[in-house]
Amino acid sequence: MSGAPHAASITVRETLELLDGAFAEMASGVAEDRYALWLGSGISLGRIPGLKLLIRNALEHLQGQIVVADANCRFRAAIIEILSTAAGLTAAEYGTIDVHQPVTNWPNIDAIVQRLASNYARFLEIGVAGEPDDYILWTGADLPNAFANPASEPDTEHLCIGLLVLEGIASRIASANWDGLIEKAVGELSPGSDALVVCVTGADLRQPQRQAFLYKFHGCAIRARDDEANFRHRIIARLSQINAWRDDQENAPMVARLVDLAVSHETLMIGLSAQDSNIQTVFTAAENRMGWPWPSRPPAYAFSEDRLGVDQRALLKNVYRGSFTPANRDAIYQSALIRAYAKPLLTALVLHVLCAKLCRLVDLAPGALGIPGSVAIKEGLKHLRNALGSHPDAGAVTFIRMIVAHANRLMALYHTGEATAPDLPYLPITSRPIQAMATDPMIATAGLREFAVGLSLLGLGQRDGNWALQPAALPAPEQGALRIITPTNNLKLVFASNAQAAIRLGVNGHVGPDDDVIVVHSQQVLPAMPRSPRATRGRLGRPGRRDVSVTELLDSAANANELFDGFRKAAGI
C-alpha cells in the first residue's frame, strides 16, 4: 500500500479509482445490496461531539461538583478512581494534579483524555455514590443534548447512506451510534416516505419490511430522551453492559438478528473500530454457524480505515479462522482495507451505484446496439460520474446537497413535468438493487432505459468536446434540468418519460413556446407536437424547440456512432 493516498486525504475521484480497480468486486457487491453496513462514531464526528470531548465534558462536570470542604466528597472520590484506575496514572503523575483546580489546569490533560478514550468503557463504568450507574455518561457528558439535539444536521455520511437506502442497496444497517442523524437524513431526502425500520428492541424487529432496517444495537439517544423509563437503560456504553450484552435476555432477539446478518451478508465497516467485545462475539458466533471462505468474491469483510487496528485484525483472524495462515495473512489484510474514510468512500459509492444502475439500464435498452454498442455508450455515463467525482467540493455536505437538489429537479421534470415545489423529494433511479432491475416491469414503462441512453449520449458529447453540460440554475422553474453549451449556443435541456410528462412541461411553465430548448423524450413524440428537427436535421444552432425521441433513435441506429450522430442531428447541435 506504499504510495497510496492517506485515508484522510484521498479524493473522491481517487476513491472511484479504487472502486474501479482493487475494490471493483466490493463495489459491485454494494450495488447488489450484498453488504451490510456496520457503522460507528466515525461517521458522525462532524456533527456529534467526539469521544474525547465527551470525556473532557464529563471530567469538567465532576470537577465542578466537588465540595472542597467535604473530605468525603463523592465527586472527588469518582475523579480519583477515574485517574488511578481508568486512566492508570502513576503515583507520581497523580501527584502533579490538584483535582480542586479546573480540568484545563491539570498537567497533561490531553494525555489523560487520550488514555480514557482508549479505555472508555471502563471510564464510564465508574460510578458516583448515590447516583444512577450511568451518571457520568447521562449527566456528566450530557448524553441527551450531545446525541439527541434537534438542531444537529446530517453530514455527508448520513445523506449518502440515506441515498443508498432509497436506491435499495443498503437494506441492512447495523449501527453502534446513539444519534438519529441517519433517520434525519432519510427524512430530509424523502419526506414522509417512512423508508427506515429503526430497531432498538426485540419488538422492533417484527415491523414490516420497508427500504431498510437500521439496527441500533447500542441504543438510541432520541428514544432515551423521549422515553427515559424504557430506553435510557438501553444505551450501551459501560464495561459491564458490553460484557453482559450478548447474554442479556432482553437483547437476545437483537443478538440473533446481528449474528444472522454477519452470516448472510458481507460486511462493510465504516467508522467502527470493532474494539467492543460484544461486536467481536457477534462475528465469532457467525463464524461458528457458517464461516466465510478465503478468498471470497466479493470480499467478505471490508474496513474503511487508513490501517487496520488490532481489533479489526483480530476480527479477521477469528472469522477466517482455519483459512487464516501466515502465508495469506497480509493478503487478507490488504483485501479488507479500503484506505478511504467515510466521506470520500460513501460519496464515491453513491456515484458508483448511480452510474452502475444507469449502465445497467443501457444494457437493457431496446434496439440493435448489442454489447459493443452498449459498452461504447456507457463510457458517457462514466465520464459524467468521474466529472462529478472530480468536483473541487466532492465529499463536502454542500456538494451532496447540490447533487441531490439537481437530481430531484431532473427526475421530477422527467417523471411528472412538474418541479415547482420548494422541497422536492429524492426520486431514486429504481428502489431495487442492480440485479433485480431486469425483472422490474416499471423500468420499461417509465422509459428509464431510454433516459439512461440519452444521458449517456450527453456524457459522450462532453467527453469529446462537442459541448459542455451544466446544471440549471435553482430554484428558477423555467431553467429546465440542464444547460448544454456549445460555441454558439446555451440551450435548455429537459427529459420527458412519456407524452403526459412532455405536455406538463409546457403546462407548468418549464418549457415555453419560444424557448430554445431540447426536450429528450424516452418514448415517441406525439404527432401533434412540433417536430422541427425533422425539417432541420444538420442545421446547427437553430433557435426554437427540438423534440428528440430516444426510442426512434434506438430503432434506427445500428451502432453507437450512428446513435450519437442521430442524436446530434435531431437536437440540432
Average pLDDT over residues 81-110: 93
The residue among 312, 343, 374 that closes a domain is 343
Amino acid type, 14 = E
Residue 185: which H helix or E strand, with range?
Answer: helix 181-189
Q: Which of 128, 147, 166 is the last residue of a domain?
A: 147
- Per-residue confidence (pLDDT) for residue 269, from 0 to 100: 98
Helix axes 397-416, 499-507, angle to 10 degrees: 110
pLDDT at 2: 52
DSSP, collapsed to helix, strand or coil, labels residue 46 as: coil
Average pLDDT for 99-114: 95
Q: Note whether 92 and 239 are same-domain residues.
A: no
Q: Compute the mean pLDDT over every residue in the chain, rounded to the nearest whole number.
A: 93
* 168: alpha, beta or left? (left if phi > 0; alpha if psi -120 to 50): left
- Residue 62's SS3 state is helix
257 occurs within a structural domain: yes
Answer whether residue 286 is part of any domain. Answer: yes
Same domain, 370 and 400: yes
Please check whether residues 427 and 541 belong to one and the same domain.
yes
Q: Are residues 277 and 410 in the same domain?
A: no
Q: What is the pLDDT of residues 272-285, one digit of tens each?
A: 988 889 999 999 99
Query: Do 210 and 256 share a domain, yes or no?
Result: yes
Identify whether residues 213 and 274 lie together within a single domain.
yes
Query: Are residue 268 and residue 379 in the same domain, yes or no?
Result: no
Q: What pLDDT, on a 0 to 100 scale, did the predictor assign at position 567?
A: 97
Question: Are 413 and 551 found together in one domain?
Answer: yes
C-alpha cell at 10: 484521498
Q: Is the peptide bond before 471 cis (omega within 30 degrees of 0)?
A: no
Examine the pLDDT at 322 and tell me if it is beyond 50: yes
3 state SS of 275: coil
3-57 pLDDT, tens per residue? 678 999 999 999 999 999 999 999 999 999 999 999 999 999 989 988 999 999 9
d(CA 165, CA 431): 8
Q: Tell me, what's the pLDDT at 146?
A: 94
Q: Specify if 126 maps to a domain.
A: yes
- Amino acid 420: pLDDT: 83
Per-residue pLDDT, 535:
37
pLDDT score of 534: 41
What is the pLDDT, as a whole number, of residue 477? 77
Q: What is the DSSP string of 485-521?
A: E-SS-EEEEEEESSHHHHHHHHHTTSS-TT--EEEEE
- Which of 124, 147, 170 represents a domain boundary (last residue)? 147
Binned at pLDDT 50, 70 and 90, residue 543 comes out as low
- For the chain, percent of residues with pLDDT exceeding 90: 85
Rounded percentage of the chain residues whose pLDDT exceeds 70: 97
- Residue 141: which domain range? 51-147
On whether the CB atoms of residues 215 and 254 are closer than 8 A, the answer is yes
Mean pLDDT, rounded, for 161-187: 97
What's the average model confidence in pLDDT over 85-98? 92
* Band (197; pLDDT cuts 50, 70, 90): very high
Q: What is the pLDDT of residue 3?
A: 65
Structure confidence at residue 541 (pLDDT):
40
pLDDT band, very low/low/confident/very high, at 538 (cuts 50, 70, 90) = very low
On whether both 266 and 327 belong to a single domain, the answer is: yes
In this predicted structure, the answer to whether residue 68 has a pLDDT above a threshold of 60 is: yes
According to the model, what pLDDT value does residue 178 have? 96
Question: Position of cell 440519452?
Answer: 454
Say yes or no to pLDDT of 531 above 90.
Answer: no
Give yes or no for residue 502 having a pLDDT over 80: yes
Specify the number of domains making up the chain: 3
With 70 as the cut, is the pLDDT of residue 536 above it?
no
Give the pLDDT mean for 440-449: 92
**Average pLDDT, stretch 91-113?**
94
| Three cell numbers, residue 158 | 448520513
Say how many Å lie between the first and final Cα of the chain, rounded: 46
176 in the same domain as 160: yes
Task: Decide: residue 441, CB within 10 A, 0-12 exposed, 13-18 middle, 19+ buried.
Answer: exposed
For 244-269, the pLDDT digits (tens) are 998 899 999 999 999 999 999 999 99
What are the distances in angstroms from CA 149 to CA 43, 193, 228, 234, 398? 17, 23, 15, 18, 21
Type of residue numbered 377: I
- Same domain membership, residue 326 and residue 181: yes
331/282 Cα distance (integer angstroms): 24
Long-range Cβ contact pairs of 191-198 (< 8 A, separation 24 or more): 191/423, 191/425, 193/166, 193/425, 195/165, 195/166, 196/165
